Structure 1
Amino acid sequence: MTNKVLEPTIISTDPGIDDAVAIAIALGDPVMDVQLICPIAGNVSVEKTMLNTRLLLTFLGQSTRIVQGSRKPLLRPLKDASGVHGKTGMDGYPFPKAKVPVDTMTPAAVAMHETVVANQQPVTLIGIGPLTDIALFIHQYPGDLKKIKQLVLMGGALGRGNLGVLSEFNFGTDPEAAKIVFNSGLPIRVAPMEVGRQAKILPDTSEKIKHIGKVGDMFYALFSKYRGGSFKTGLNMYDALAMAMILDPSCFTEVETHVAIETRGELTAGASLIDLKGYLGKSANASVAVDVDSKRFESWFVDAISRTANL
């Protein structure tokens, strides 16, 4: 039996309750070597996402490098999602005082570059928030792109949106950044919003998680304040999808297709055109999850949370 090779990983994130779950899963997995976390403004302000990342890592006893991300989109004002995640972004649990430091002097794109060039093997880049910093990294360091193994994103919508009529929050917050990302030529995999709604954590599973040590108790408390579903109807898992696409891709049905981002529409800016029927006549630039085995995902999710209890 051969040992799995650690996979150097960078996470761009805007915690956010479901982001916190995704980060913890990545830190608890024996395959993922999370070397850099860049909190960005999105669900709440960058000051809050930085603090939330520090609180989470302190709670988990981890010391991963944290570098401040962008405080606003490239060209547009920030529209946060505190209505879903609460005023702080991680309401509901009395975290211990944050002790993990954060680098506020190095731009996130520079920190990404430093991490990529420091590794001998290709790096996995994960985006579970607005794509501003990833776009800046792509723009500023095109020579690094050959060292990116894959870019895994949670974002976009196969149909209707949750930020605008046709725009999903992560891509729609910074459409210009999303467009840069999908035009980059990187190997991209995407878990869109609808797949997160399929990947529900049902009530009996939430009860199981509640009793997985202090980590399970923390997650249960956070989800009591989460407005992405409910304990009664099932919790929608969004950002954890990105981790599952890396760690258990057999959960998903993926389709190679072209993804275009609308940036000029008066009413449709931020829409992700996931061209499953080839209307645009353009070659594929992403592998998009169009379905998830919800039972398999739920089982994987419980196992992943259990691993965080060993941190």
Structure 2
Amino acid sequence: MAKMILDCDPGHDDAIAIMLAAGNPSIELLGITTVAGNQTLDKVTRNALSVCTAAGIRVPVARGAAGPLVNHQVVAGDIHGDSGLDGPYLPPASFDLDPRHAVDFIIDTVMSHEPKTVNLVPVGPFTNIALAIRKEPRIVERAKSVVVMGGGYTRGNVTPTGEFNVWADPEAAEIVFRADWDVTMIGLDLTHQALASVELQDRVRAVGGPVSEFVLDVWEFVGSTYRKVFEFSAPPIHDACAVAALIDPSVITVAKADVHVELSGRWTKGMTVTNFQDTPGMHHTGGVAAELTDFRTNVATQLDWSKFGDQIVDAVERLTVKVIA
């Protein structure tokens, strides 16, 4: 069983990630930490508690960073609405927040468990993880892995090259990518393969019950904004891909690469500059290219959509049984 801390900014795809992590028997969800991103910290924290309440999930939820390390905060209201999770009914929280700051919760959890047993899964801006590294550097050698939803090697969604989670706090992302631990980058090139298709929605609808209704309401709202803003036929379930990869690594195909975050380019700030190990000749050249040869990041390239969809449906079924019981 994989032990996980889910660091998130709910967010519609974050809501599905929370439910997948809590509903899969291969995951021990140690806690949820929140970070400003899709909406303000107050809103995303409330949303995390509401998702847990709606799906019968009871794990520690700790409130984290209210903004990026350097930049001014920017939210994604055009995608996620004013609440950050418009669409589904958000029930009042049925339990209280953990009293610790998310950074302290992350440090305490990683340091109190056996070495190489806790996986960190940041699916919002990486601010909390970067601050935790700065406050307690030993978490880098103690964590088992870091599976991030962020970046992209061919595209962005805020700028032509900048994906929101990295672009919103590029300095934090660079800290996380350059730390000496096992990092998997699940970026837009992968998550745009993870669409909440009509087929998947029909399978979730067939489950029935309140959890199914919540999930369908999530997809209905974010599906409409993705059609309007990005002309997608169905919304990507970005963040759940990171959880799915921890459940079953065969859900994704990865390639080794050196990943750096561009911090200062006028057009490229927030870009995840990705040099794949098998790019012909790149690691033999001099100059700047020679600096991009630390091939230790696993970059996701292909999704097994069938396995991914099965995971989503299975989690909805398991949570439904729990809620109805």
TM range (shorter): over 0.9
Tell me which amino acid in the other structure corresponds to 1:256: K
Structure 2 counterpart of 1:225: 221
Structure 1 counterpart of 2:309: 298
Tell me which amino acid in the other structure corresponds to 1:308: L
Structure 1 counterpart of 2:211: 215
| Greater mean deviation of Cα atoms: 294-303 or 163-172 | 294-303
The count of residues paired between Structure 1 and Structure 2 equals 305
**Displacement of 1:128 after TM fit?**
0.3
Contact 1:28-1:310 at 8 Å conserved across structures = no
Tell me which amino acid in the other structure corresponds to 1:113: I
**Displacement of 1:31 after TM fit?**
2.0
Residues 298 and 63 of structure 1, relative CA distance in 2, 3 Å threshold: closer
Gaps of 5+ in 2: 284-288
Residues 45 and 25 of structure 1, relative CA distance in 2, 3 Å threshold: same
1:196-211 map, 5 Å: 196-211=191-206
TM-score by length of 2: 0.89
**Displacement of 1:16 after TM fit?**
0.3
**Displacement of 1:292 after TM fit?**
1.4
Pairing partner for 1:33 from 23, 28, 31: 28
C-alpha distance in structure 1 between counterparts of 2:274 and 2:312, whole Å:
27
Q: Are 2:119 and 1:124 aligned?
A: yes
Contact 1:21-1:219 at 8 Å conserved across structures = yes
1:297 alignment partner, SS class:
helix
1:257-268 map, 5 Å: 257-268=257-268
Q: Are 2:34 and 1:23 aligned?
A: no
1:37-186 map, 5 Å: 37-103=32-98, 106-121=100-115, 122-186=117-181
Residues 297 and 7 of structure 1, relative CA distance in 2, 3 Å threshold: closer
Residues 269 and 151 of structure 1, relative CA distance in 2, 3 Å threshold: same
Tell me which amino acid in the other structure corresponds to 2:107: H
C-alpha distance in structure 2 between counterparts of 1:55 and 1:10, whole Å:
18
Contact 1:201-1:236 at 8 Å conserved across structures = yes
Q: Taking every aligned residue pair, what percent have the same amino acid on both sides?
A: 29
Tell me which amino acid in the other structure corresponds to 1:189: T
Tell me which amino acid in the other structure corresponds to 2:24: D
TM-score by length of 1: 0.93
C-alpha distance in structure 1 between counterparts of 2:227 and 2:133, whole Å:
34
Tell me which amino acid in the other structure corresponds to 1:183: R
RMSD over aligned Cα atoms: 1.9
More helix per residue: 1 or 2?
A: 2
Gaps of 5+ in 1: 1-5
Q: Are 2:162 and 1:194 aligned?
A: no
1:270-281 map, 5 Å: 270-276=270-276, 277=279, 278=282, 280-281=289-290
